[in-house]
Amino acid sequence: MKRTLRNLSAVAAALFFSLSGLSQANYTYQLDLNKLDNGLMEVKLTTPAISEEEIDFLLPLAVPGYPKTNLAFGPMVAELTAYDKWGMPLPAERIKPNRWRIRDAQGLQRIEYKVRNMWKYRQQNSVFLPVENFFIPGRAFMLNPGGLFGYVEGMEKLPFYIYIVRPKGLFASSGIKGMAAEGYRDAFSFPSYQELADYPILYTEQRPASFEVANTTVEIGVFSENDKVNPQRIQKVYQPLLAKLADYLGGSLPADKYAFLFFFYDGEILFQESVEHGNSSAWVWPEKWDPKLLKAANLEEGLEKVDMHKFLHIYAPWNIHSEEFLQFDFDEPQKYRSCHQWFYQGATEYLFYHARVNQEMIPEKTFFWFVNDFLAAMKDFRSDVSLTDVSRRTYTDLADQHMNLEFKGTIASLLLDIELRARSGGTHSLKKLVKGLAARYGRYKAFKDEELFGIIAEMTYPEIGQFLKDHVGGTKPLPINEIFNKVGMEYDAGDNKVYPKEEATKEEMELRKEWLYGE
């Protein structure tokens, strides 16, 4: 079954049901980007057939990739009206900022509403710009499905058909397979709301750049308020960088297409934010560059520093995840929170840095500076709660510990990598484990949360499973000095840093070489 497709005939069929008044078992959404109403986007929905007298229609409070439940999608919606098949309004009341209760719902056929331009209200209402919607008439539209399209509670797993009319002269970029850069109409189908929410689209006046990396088509879409940045400038950084990353990962990647969607804004530097999706990432960055404030000499250096982390999420969580990840609740995400966020974030961040030293993009000395930075950062967080507990309770009482999933999760992943190298004589690694897990599961197959440690032990060594139970699932301190000793390094607990041993053995140095530069 194709999970995402560009399929005009499918949408045409959905529109036939919509216009004929016949009942349907899907959602059909229509947008015309040429017809903003005083800056508001008009959204038209033909609803699936409803059997209840009363239903709730809602927009998300949270989306994957953003660890809080305060998104302002609901407040950006205006003039929501529900209609029956004769075009008569039905009772619809906003009962929460993101939720409308519709009565006499058995007669419901369509819902219409308008969405405000978050870019206009970014100072007052924005929570996290990369997941929000921007409308620059005639120039650019950043469309994030979670902020545009709602769903009937309990009916999120029905298909969604999306039909968009775009302005003449705007090009499209998206992770959607088969989406044409040029055209006037776009039509897509998605098997569920979770799939729909994972595919932002950028329409912009600049033609996207496109190139091949291994088996993946990479697309770069750019909007730049003053035309200071174009896709080709970013391609010059990304193409060699991603080629090295593909080599690092064995010449094959778990994605047919990947899109980088950039929105560069003019004026005061207020935001530099990004979010990952399964086949794309969305970025809101300043056009004007301040090396001190943005911690990079220029745009190119800034891209090189952060690019691969977002891209590497094509492995975890998008191709390695638990059942809880696939059950993400957009209104109450705490209900199905995976206890392996530490892996999704920590292993990804570690591989980002390891790839750079492995492919000789940075020297060993710089790599260990980064390691020491992570050691310092994790000290600011609690040591009496496990990484699995923090993962599970990010949306509730351990929200303030969320960043430690990246900091301590990275160090745990690094130690796991060394331990795998040590036990296998240098032939096994975290990279191989991640690739093996992605091949075993993939995007639509999941493991049970409580089984991951056992699965990893089965794929590697029993001792690795015990390491994870003790130091990730439990609160035993990470054996930092013990494991670093195996690669000729030692940990100074006093200043919380690792240093090369003065008299490392030949075996330790050989293992360090295999760890840092091996396959």
> What pLDDT shows up at residue 455?
98
Could you tell me where in the chain the CATH 2.60.40.3650 domains are found?
5-131+141-196
Looking at residue 23, its pLDDT comes to 59
Mind listing the pLDDT tens digit for each residue in 5-38? 444 444 544 454 444 444 589 999 999 999 999 8
Predicted local distance difference test score (pLDDT) of residue 131: 96
Ranges in the chain annotated CATH 1.10.390.10: 323-517
CATH for the stretch 323-517: 1.10.390.10
Considering the entire predicted model, what is its pTM? 0.93
String of DSSP letters for 78-146: EEEEEEETTS-EE-EEEEETTEEEEESGGGEEEEEEEE--TTTTHHHH-S-GGGS-EEETTTEEEE-HH
Spatial contact of 87 and 108, defined as CB atoms under 8 Å apart:
no
pLDDT tens digits, 252-271: 999 999 999 999 999 999 88
User: For residue 373, how far is the Cα from the chain centroid?
Assistant: 24
**Three-class secondary structure of residue 459 per DSSP:** helix
Report the alpha-carbon distance of residue 69 to residue 396 in Å, rounded: 10
| Per-residue pLDDT, 60 | 97
Does domain 209-307 fall under CATH 1.10.3470? My reply is no
One CATH from 3.40.50.10470, 3.20.20.70, 2.30.30.60, 2.60.40.3650 for 5-131+141-196: 2.60.40.3650
Determine the Cα–Cα distance for residues 355 and 359; give it in Å rounded to an integer: 6
pLDDT at site 117:
95
Domain with CATH 3.30.2010 in the chain: 209-307
So what's the pLDDT on residue 185? 95
pLDDT tens digits along 267-312: 999 889 999 999 999 999 999 999 999 989 999 999 987 767 889 9
In 10 A of CB 240, how many CB atoms? 13
- The low-confidence residues of the chain, meaning pLDDT below 50, are 1-10, 12-14, 16-22
What is the model's pLDDT at position 4? 42
